[in-house]
Every structure is written in structure tokens, then in C-alpha cells.
Structure 1
Amino acid sequence: MTKVFDAAWHVWVADNLARGCDKSELRDILFKEGFSQEQVDKAIAPQHFLNPYKKKDIPKQELADRYDGADYNALANLPIVVQEHPQITPFKNDLIQLFVWDDFLSAQECEKMLAIIGDNLRPSTVTQFNGDDAFRTSSTCDLSFLDDPFIKEIDEKLAKAIGINPSFSEGIQAQRYQVGQEFKAHTDYFEPHTNEYLQFAQRQGQRTWTFMIYLQDTPKGGGTKFVDLRHTFYPKAGQAVLWNNLDENGYPNPYTLHHGMPVEEGEKIIITKWFRAKGQGEMFS
């Protein structure tokens, strides 16, 4: 029998959200209390995000006018999505387009990238400060700012693998997480109708796909936890995890909410490339 989500629980959720509590922690508490995925979604997620993959009959011109003119349906049907690949495993959940690509980078490529990253780190930042100084505590390496042909080669390899023109992307970036460091639950897309969107999406548009690669194994902790899917990927050298941050109509998909979990032993080092809705020339290569 499903537990009743009564008025008292709704008040509890509202109060904690108003206080700025971490949504992922609230979700974990509600799941432990025995509430279903649907009940938790209705309590925490905005109403128009409850079913991000629901088909919407929106005229193509209206989509072009409202959402940067990108072909979001094509972005949701890339070759990696519709074609079988022996090293690519789709995550079996209709709420998200997410794939795992084993051995995307070789051991030699990982080692070479690790050597470059080690000397070029700075404290990581967030697009909009939420008042939590411990929200993101990793270090970042702006790989695309370095004049290195190997970095350019890897950057192009990611774009070619996903089939999107590099012009429709950001340059690759690296993050290092040492013991205790994390990136609390967040989404990669820019929240529409906010200052964040105005500041970061005006030139290149919304973020579409995320392409993340683990450069080494992490002995303990450091997983990438997709909060609403209740699944965690643990760092494995050379493995890529990639996902579409939007649905087929260009709406942000809240089920992409993920938490870079604290490292408990060793360290986690990843490289990430974000693709965008705007660029030069044809989007698909």
C-alpha cells in the first residue's frame, strides 16, 4: 500500500525548500520514509517538469523562435542513440538519455592527460553562487586554454564520437576531487528565465549533451550519483558517461540532476565537454 503524502509532509517539504536545503537530501529522506518516485517528484519538482519526455505538439517554427533554432529532435536521435555499439551501454530508463562508453580513452591517453592537468589547476567555481561555500570544492583545469596539440586531438575526438560540430560546444575542462571534495547535486543546463541563463546562454545557447570521462579509478567514493534515478556511476579509468540535458523539444530535463559524491580514498579526475545549441555552420558532423 502506497504511503499517503499528506498536508504535513507538503508543509515539511515547502519549509525545507524555503530554507535552501539540498533537494537531493530531501529526496533521500522522502525515499527512506517510503514514498514513491512519483510522490517525491510531485512534491519537489516544478509541475511542468514532472514528465520531461511527454510528447508535445509544438510547431517547428515556434520551437525555432523559442529555443535558439536548434533541432532538438535530432539531438535526441544522434547516431550513438539509435545505432548499436559494442562498447556503448544505454542506461535503461525512459526518464533520461544516458550512455556509458567503456574504454573511450586508452590508458596512455589518460596518463598523458593526467600529466597535463596536474600543473594547471585552479579552484572550481559555479555559474551562480547559492550561498553554500562548500557546494563545489574541486579544482579545475581549463584545458582548452592551453596550447597543446594533444588536448586539441582529444577535444576533437569527443566531438567526432558524438557527431556534433565542435563549434556547437565548449572546450574541454578537467576537474580534480581530492578526499572530502565534492560537487553537490546540480544540473548542467542553464535554468531558463534566470540571470544565469541570460549571462551564460546568450551567445552559445543552452547546454545540450554532457560528455564526461573518468581518467583514473578511485579506490573509494567519488561516484557520480544521478539523484532522481537513484543510480551512481563509480570512476573507472577511460570510461565515458554522456547524457542529454534536454528533452526532444529542448526543455531542460530535471532528471539529469547529479551529485559528484565526496571522494573517500584516493582522488577522482575527470574531463568534461559540454555541447551547446548555437554554433557556426551545420550542427551535425
Structure 2
Amino acid sequence: MAFAFRSANKDPDTRALKRLGEAVRARLAADPQVYQMPVEGLELYGVGGFFSPAECDRLIAIVDTVARPSPTYHNNGDSGRTSFSGDVDPRDPFIRMIQRRIDDLLGIAPELGETIQGQRYSVGQQFRNHFDYFLPSQDFWQDEQRRGGQRSWTAMAYLNAVEAGGETAFPRLEMAVPPQAGALLIWNNMGLDGRPNPQALHAGLPVVSGVKYVLTKWYRSRPWS
């Protein structure tokens, strides 16, 4: 499916997203703990053991306190998201430390980051194919422009191993990444030119057995509010 995007000289986010992509790309390439996935068309990275077992346990407990039936974006009922989710408290000292570590890994200014969201998936729950970025055709596009603009990078952490299922799938790459406790998955929702990358289509596959816990942090092109 093809999408029509604004040209680079008309979209105020594009140049900023291109520069941000270049900076994060260079930072991750210089970090020996970061592994770049061997895929074409998407910048996709992994970091094993980013969180310790004790940190994962503590984060799981926090997710349980905030998890509610997941709203779809702006209550869009077509997203196929059936998990439980909730924003963690950004003022919590432990969460502030977690956010700072992710910011530092990517080298992204903290003010560009959204509040971390925790998600819990039970058996059968999933998040069907979707993009993390926004499309100009969506009715909330102007609202998101005022709130910080386009989403750039996604950082998603697995907090536990799952007995079966729960992979993060990238269907256009024919790739799925299974949950690994403490691992951080990172991808650029933009292409090298700073424009939305259709290859970033992804899904949280249904959990077959067990429960899946994840944390997700999204970044914007401009300070988020």
C-alpha cells in the first residue's frame, strides 16, 4: 500500500528527523553493546541485557499498577490492539533513571521523549500491524504537530521471556523478534531522508502461552508535551 507524504521542503519535521536519524545512527554504530539487525530497508537494533533481572521484576510490578485495557490511538477502534497498557509515572526516581539510560543510549535529548508506556499481553492478546509514526491524512495529525511533531525512534524493552508467542514482527522484512527478558529493541520509524518509512510496519503477535510485559518509549521531532 502506498502513502502520499508531504515533500521534504513542505514538512517542517523532515529536516529535523533526518538530522536526528544521522546522530542516533552514528551513536549506535559506535556502541559495542548495540547489534544492528541484518535487514534491508529499516534501521533496526538490539541490545541484550539492557535491564537486569531485578530491574525487569520491578518494572513488571509497575506495569501491573498502571495497566488498563489499551485505548487505541485517539480511541480509533480499528487498530486491533487488545493488550493492557498505561503510562508510568515520569516523576518516579526509578523511572527517571530508566528514561535517562534509554535517552543516553540513543543520544536523544530528554525533552523529545514521550512518557514511557508499559504494556501487558495475556494469552490471545496482540497488537496487529501498525505504524508508530503519524500520517497527514489522520484526523489527529494537527494535534500531534502541536504536541511535538512526528515520531522518530522507538525503543521497546522486553521485561520477561514468554512461554510461546508474543514476538514483535516486521512483516515487510519477513522477520520476528522473540521476547528476551531485559533486551531492548530499537528502530527508526523514518527513512534516511527523514520521511516516514513504510518498512517500519510492525505487530505484536498474539501470546500463545504465558504473559508478555514490555516497555515502550517513543521520541518526537520536537519537544513533546
Same fold flag (TM > 0.5)? yes
Matching of residue 116 in structure 1 with residue 72 in structure 2:
no
Q: What's the C-alpha RMSD, in Å, of the aligned pairs?
A: 2.1
- Separation (CA, whole Å) in 1 of partners of 2:76 and 2:95: 32
- Separation (CA, whole Å) in 1 of partners of 2:214 and 2:36: 20
Alignment deviations for residues 115-169 of structure 1 (CA, whole Å, 9 cap, x no partner): 222122111112155554x811100121035x42111111111111110011011
Matching of residue 196 in structure 1 with residue 151 in structure 2:
no
Matching of residue 226 in structure 1 with residue 173 in structure 2:
no
Given candidates 35, 40, 47, the residue that maps to 1:94 is 40
More strand by share: 2
Matching of residue 46 in structure 1 with residue 2 in structure 2:
yes
Matching of residue 160 in structure 1 with residue 116 in structure 2:
no
Matching of residue 148 in structure 1 with residue 95 in structure 2:
no
Matching of residue 82 in structure 1 with residue 26 in structure 2:
no
- TM-score norm. by structure 1 comes to 0.72
- TM-score norm. by structure 2 comes to 0.90
Does the aligned pair in 2 maintain the 1:210–1:244 contact within 8 Å?
yes
Aligned residue type for 1:202? R
- Separation (CA, whole Å) in 2 of partners of 1:69 and 1:189: 13
Q: Where in structure 1 are there 5+ consecutive unaligned residues? A: 1-44, 50-55, 281-285
Shift of 1:247: 1.4
**1:28 corresponds to:** none
* CA 144–67 in structure 1, closer or farther in 2 if over 3 Å, else same: farther
* Structure with the greater alpha carbon radius of gyration: 1
Given candidates 149, 166, 183, the residue that maps to 1:205 is 149
Shift of 1:80: 3.5
Aligned residue type for 1:222? G
- Separation (CA, whole Å) in 1 of partners of 2:70 and 2:100: 24
* CA 48–70 in structure 1, closer or farther in 2 if over 3 Å, else same: closer
SS in 2 for 1:189: coil
- Separation (CA, whole Å) in 2 of partners of 1:208 and 1:48: 18
Aligned residue type for 1:144? D
Given candidates 211, 214, 217, the residue that maps to 1:267 is 211
More helix by share: 1
Count of paired positions: 221
Does the aligned pair in 1 maintain the 2:21–2:194 contact within 8 Å?
no
* CA 96–237 in structure 1, closer or farther in 2 if over 3 Å, else same: same
Name the structure, 1 or 2, with higher relative contact order (CA <8 Å, separation 6+).
Answer: 2
**1:72 corresponds to:** 17
Does the aligned pair in 2 maintain the 1:246–1:253 contact within 8 Å?
yes
Shift of 1:84: 4.6
Report percent identity of matched pairs: 36
Alignment deviations for residues 62-114 of structure 1 (CA, whole Å, 9 cap, x no partner): 3xx522375333322223443251x2111122300110111111111111111
